[in-house]
Amino acid sequence: MEFIFGIIVLIADVYALYNIITSGASTLSKIIWCLVVLILPVLGFIAWLIAGPRSGGARV
């Protein structure tokens, strides 16, 4: 069971890191978000979902 949870966290973090790197945010912001996701994988991912930089798509 822990293996499956670990794989899910790894996939989520890779997804978050990719979106952070490809976002239109400043370089400093990208570095900080990447460090948060890498140091705190689960909490960092959740924080990124809530408040992280968004991709350059259309805003409503």
The whole-number pLDDT of residue 55 equals 61
Q: How far is CA 35 from CA 4, 39, 58, in A?
A: 24, 6, 27
Query: What is the pLDDT confidence band of residue 59, given thresholds at 50, 70 and 90?
Result: very low
Specify if 42 maps to a domain: yes
**Looking at the domain assignment, is residue 4 inside a domain?**
no
Provide the domain count of the chain. Answer: 1
And the tokens for 36?
């948060």
pTM of the model: 0.82
Residue 56 lies in a domain: no
Domain that holds residue 47: 13-51
| Residue in 2, 10, 19 with CA at minimum distance from that of residue 42 | 10
Interval 15-57: pLDDT, tens: 999 999 999 889 999 999 999 999 999 999 999 999 877 665 5
